[in-house]
Amino acid sequence: MLKTVHFQSIKALQDVRLDLAPLTFLVGPNGCGKSTLLDQIEVLCGCSHHDPGSRHALGRAGEVLSAVDPPSLRTEGDSDGSMSWQGQDSSGATFSIECPAGPAKGWYDRVKLVASADGRALAMDVNELRQEKRAEFDDLLSSHLSWWSQRLRLIPQYIAAPVDVREERLDPSGYGLASILTAFALNDQQAYAALQADMAAIVPEFQRIHISKVEIEGKDKVKHGGVSLGMVFRGAGRRPASQISDGTLVALALLTATHNREMPPLVLMDDIDHGLHLGAQMTLIRAIRKVMEVRPDLQVVCTTHSPYLLDAAKPDEVRVMALDANGHTVVRPLTAYPDFERHHRGLQTGEFWATFGEGWVADTGGVA
């Protein structure tokens, strides 16, 4: 489980350290860097893996960094500072990527990867990765790191889309959910039943998930066996996903990601309250906490704009974000509000945030 992340010279994240709880809520105005934080946690986790099949000189880290193009992420006006992604997990293992400033072309020649765990610490660059030292570094990643994350940017119409039954992953948009649910129902019936019970708590009329066989045309223009998502509701009968509310679809995708042990344990999600009724928002958070009791490795980092949902959060789980006078992201724990204990008395977490907002964050400065 990730304990701390630290990013430097990446977009608005000029120098941001974030302490993470098992369930962490990021709040703040639009454009303050909430989604960027989730994106860079995903980059950090993706680079922490060893991929023996990678042909990039930097291995999997090189492939992940190539996809995001580090020079395009550099903080504006900070051309002299090194970009860095750093993390530490609850075991004390650390991993970091450093990309010194320089010409955009050939940036990978300057990248350094550093990993430490179990009393070992190794630093690698492109030249060393081509030598025998690479095997030792890869072993350290495989045995002690490999932080698995799943970034969710759920879009209801993609969640509802029929999918090739051979699809084995949930796309960040939610595409592939029907196939994931099909395998989930076959491989872990107890957890699948718990998922449906949680759905019924959030949407009282919900009775069960219904998966139908369909034929879909693949990228090769050939028809393949596929599956289509539907649900059965009390009083309304079976309904295809295209006729189901956005909030219900998003809740199903999120709960699938948390209940399914075959999926990465670190879930990164924007707008966790998306389309949900006020009461359903709090029920969703209670459901996630219940899953954490049986899946202790589960960790969720999410953004929200809903003070009602935050009423289901503990104060020390909330990180408040804002921009300073230079347009750089500043993050503070909600509990860092001046004289928090006195002001918090008698207020729920969401009420406190709605009352005091985030204007104090940049004034006090610092990190989470």
Do 177 and 242 fall into the same domain? yes
Q: Which of 263, 295, 320 marks a domain boundary? A: 263
In a domain, 312, yes or no: yes
Q: What is the mean pLDDT of the segment spanning 22-39?
A: 97
Structure-token pair, residue 368: 């989470």
Do 7 and 136 fall into the same domain? yes
In a domain, 188, yes or no: yes
**Tokens 């009724």 appear where?**
277
Do 121 and 167 fall into the same domain? no
- Please say if the pLDDT value at position 129 is more than 60: no
Distance CA 196, CA 139 (A): 39
Tell me the residue range of the domain where 314 lies: 2-148+308-364
What is residue 368's predicted lDDT score, i.e. its pLDDT?
44
Do 137 and 191 fall into the same domain? no
- Please say if the pLDDT value at position 349 is more than 50: yes
Amino acid at 117: A
Do 50 and 65 fall into the same domain? yes
In a domain, 207, yes or no: yes
Whole-number average pLDDT of the chain: 92
Q: What is the mean pLDDT of the segment spanning 192-212?
A: 97
What is residue 366's predicted lDDT score, i.e. its pLDDT?
43
Do 327 and 312 fall into the same domain? yes
Do 9 and 107 fall into the same domain? yes
Of the candidates 158, 356, 281, the residue with the CA atom closest to the CA atom of residue 167 = 158
> What is the CA 184 to chain-centroid distance, rounded?
21
Do 65 and 111 fall into the same domain? yes
pLDDT digits (tens, 9 = 90+) for 33-91: 999 999 999 999 999 998 888 888 788 999 999 999 999 999 987 666 899 999 999 99
In a domain, 272, yes or no: no
In a domain, 297, yes or no: no
Do 111 and 197 fall into the same domain? no
Distance CA 241, CA 243 (A): 5
For the whole model, what pTM was predicted?
0.93
CATH number of the structural domain spanning residue 326: 3.40.50
* Contacting residues for 290 by C-beta, under 8 A, at least 6 apart: 198
Q: How far is CA 263 from CA 20, 150, 233, 258, in A?
A: 20, 8, 27, 8
Give phi and psi for 194, each to the nearest 5: -65, -40
Do 259 and 313 fall into the same domain? no
In a domain, 176, yes or no: yes
Q: Which of 263, 291, 323 marks a domain boundary? A: 263
In a domain, 165, yes or no: yes
Structure-token pair, residue 240: 């295809």
Distance CA 73, CA 13 (A): 10
Q: Which of 263, 293, 319 marks a domain boundary? A: 263
Dihedral (Cα; 260, 153, 20, 248), 10-degree rounding: -60
Do 117 and 51 fall into the same domain? yes
What is residue 131's predicted lDDT score, i.e. its pLDDT?
63
Q: What is the mean pLDDT of the segment spanning 310-318?
A: 96
Do 222 and 243 fall into the same domain? yes
Q: What is the mean pLDDT of the segment spanning 15-37?
A: 97
In a domain, 71, yes or no: yes
pLDDT digits (tens, 9 = 90+) for 157-201: 999 999 998 888 999 999 999 999 999 999 999 999 999 999 999
- Tally of domains in the chain: 2
Helix 177-187 vs helix 189-202: crossing angle, to nearest 10: 130
